[in-house]
Amino acid sequence: MEAFIDIVLFGFLILTAIAIMRLRNLFAVVMLSGVFSLLSAGLFVVMDAVDVAFTEAAVGAGISTVLMLGTMAMTSREEKPPVHNRLFSFAIAVIVGAALIYGTTDMPPFGSPDAPAHQHVGPDYIERTPKEIGVPNVVTAVLASYRGFDTLGEVAVIFTAGIAVIVLLHGRTRPARTARARKKEKDV
Amino acid sequence: MHHHLILRVVSKMLIPPILLYALYVQFHGDFGPGGGFQAGVIFAVAFILYGIVFSLDHLRRAVPPHIVRRFVALGLLIYAGVGVANLFLGGNFLDYSTLAHDAKHGQHYGILLVELGVGITVAAVMISIFFAFASRPPTIKDTDW
């Protein structure tokens, strides 16, 4: 059953990716990239990574779609026809894809207990969390307590990014200029 | 989007459960999946939906942008503040065990507080970014939907 769900999800992922490549209407592309994120979130759930799936569904399928729509509203609705050599882009995609697939052949099988993720600090966290932190969700314990400093840095990154967008797009320059222009008109 | 009756009615029904769900994800993050990041995004989505379906002016009246911008900093301050409080209580920076007599309770309070800080900053940043994008003149025409 799980293999069937995997095949269906991956099949739709590939179909969505092909549709995104072929379409020139950016509105449809933005919507399809939201669908792509939602399908990946489904795959993460199948792989028992619920926290990651949650983030992917909320950020990838939700917020990014809205932000991309906002960006599209400010620019163009249609993608311009490509000026680069298509064959060259295709060759790069095939080479990078082949290299990535070659890289996965060395990876331990999915869920294998010998995988590095289950060998080093993982078991230690699972063993220590009930004794030291006492919260059932080990992911939260690692994120907020053992690695609290990392998470503080992540929040600072989000803070900085937010401030940067506000400064870039929400500046108060325009009203000030119109006020000055109005004064100038009055003076004249 | 004033004549989209179905969209307006459905979003009116959806926004309160979305907010409630965000709070559940926020404060239940140590028991189930989720936490401040996801809760902040879901919380912001409720406001963004309101802003898209009703209007940006409605949203401005509900959450004035200059107040949202203060919350961007507030979340980070709460997070860092917990760390500084730990220093004053005699522990290391972000060592929550000092927050209560029992180390486990301290950890629990600390996680709740820093996740709250994360949630506030993420929600405020998302709403601010939406304001910044949507306040620009061109909007999506009805015929494009």
Q: How much is the pLDDT for A84? A: 76
Between CA B97 and CA B106 the distance in angstroms is 4
What percentage of chain A reaches a pLDDT higher than 90? 35
Q: How much is the pLDDT for A184? A: 60
Mark out the alpha helices in A23-169 (DSSP H runs). Answer: 26-46, 50-55, 64-74, 86-104, 122-132, 138-140, 148-169
Cβ-count burial A156-187 (b if 16+ within 10 Å, e if not):
eebbeebeebbeebbeeeeeeeeeeeeeeeee
Q: What pLDDT digit, counting tens, does each position of A44-80 carry?
A: 999 888 888 988 998 888 889 988 888 887 788 888 8
Q: Is residue A159 part of a domain?
A: no
Q: Is the dihedral of CA A47, B19, B42, A66 positive or negative?
A: positive
Please give the tally of structural domains in chain A: 1
Q: Is residue A13 part of a domain?
A: yes
Instruction: Tell me, yes or no, if A167 comes closer than 8 A to chain B by beta carbon.
Output: no
Examine the pLDDT at A94 and tell me if it is beyond 60.
Answer: yes
Instruction: Tell me, yes or no, if B129 comes closer than 8 A to chain A by beta carbon.
Output: yes
Best A158, A172, A173 member to test B by mutation, with max B CBs in 10 Å, is: A158
> Among residues 49-78 of chain B, which lie with CB inside 8 Å of chain A?
52, 65, 69, 72-73, 75-76
Question: Which residues of chain B have a pLDDT value below 50?
Answer: none
Q: Which stretch of A19-28, A122-131, A170-179, B51-60 has the lowest confidence by average pLDDT?
A: A170-179
Q: Is residue A48 part of a domain?
A: yes
- Phi first, then psi: what are they for A170, rounded to 5°? -120, 25
Q: Do A66 and B130 touch (CB under 8 A)?
A: yes
Q: Is residue A139 part of a domain?
A: no
pLDDT band per the 50, 70, 90 thresholds, residue A182: low
Q: Is residue A167 part of a domain?
A: no
Instruction: Report the residue from B30, B52, B107 with minimal CB separation from A132.
Output: B107
Q: Is residue A72 part of a domain?
A: yes
Q: What pLDDT digit, counting tens, does each position of A95-126 carry?
A: 999 999 999 888 888 878 888 878 888 888 88
| CATH code of A54's domain | 1.20.120.1200
Q: Is residue A12 part of a domain?
A: yes
Computed over every residue of chain A, the mean pLDDT equals 85
Q: Do A62 and B45 touch (CB under 8 A)?
A: yes
> Among residues 73-92 of chain A, which lie with CB inside 8 Å of chain B?
73-74, 77
Q: Is the dihedral of CA A34, A40, A43, A49 positive or negative?
A: negative
Q: How much is the pLDDT for A173? A: 47
pLDDT band per the 50, 70, 90 thresholds, residue A36: very high
* Distance between B72 CA and the closest CA of chain A, angstroms: 6
Q: Is residue A88 part of a domain?
A: no
CB burial of residue A39 (10 Å; 0-12, 13-18, 19+):
buried
Between CA B111 and CA B125 the distance in angstroms is 21
Q: Where in the sequence is the domain holding A52, given as residue range(s)?
A: 1-81
Examine the pLDDT at A177 and tell me if it is beyond 70.
Answer: no
pTM for the structure as a whole: 0.83
Q: Is the dihedral of CA B77, B79, B80, B86 positive or negative?
A: positive
Q: What pLDDT digit, counting tens, does each position of B14-38 carry?
A: 999 999 999 999 988 888 887 889 9
Give the residue from B19, B48, B23, B46 showing the smallest Cα distance to B34.
B23
C-alpha pair distances (Å), B141 with each of A2, A109, A155, A184, B145: 43, 49, 35, 36, 7
C-alpha pair distances (Å), A57 with each of A85, B5, B87: 35, 27, 37
Q: Is the dihedral of CA A78, A82, A87, A93 positive or negative?
A: negative
Chain A residues within an 8 Å CB radius of B94: 148-149, 152
Q: Which stretch of A27-36, A167-176, B100-109 has the lowest confidence by average pLDDT?
A: A167-176
Q: How much is the pLDDT for A49? A: 86
Between CA A37 and CA A58 the distance in angstroms is 9
Examine the pLDDT at A179 and tell me if it is beyond 80.
Answer: no
Is the ipTM higher than 0.90? The answer is no
Q: To 5 degrees, how large is the angle CA A16–CA A21–CA A23?
A: 90
Q: Are B44 and B126 in contact (CB under 8 A)?
A: yes
What percentage of chain A reaches a pLDDT higher than 70? 90
Residue indicated by tokens 């119109």: A178
Between CA A94 and CA B1 the distance in angstroms is 44
For A64, the token pair is: 């990014």
Q: Which residues pair with A25 in a beta bridge?
A: A78
Examine the pLDDT at A176 and tell me if it is beyond 60.
Answer: no
Examine the pLDDT at A42 and tell me if it is beyond 90.
Answer: yes
First CA to last CA across chain B, in angstroms? 10
pLDDT band per the 50, 70, 90 thresholds, residue A188: low
Give the residue from B95, B108, B34 showing the smallest Cα distance to A135.
B108
Q: Max alpha carbon distance in chain A (Å)?
A: 81
Between CA A69 and CA B51 the distance in angstroms is 14
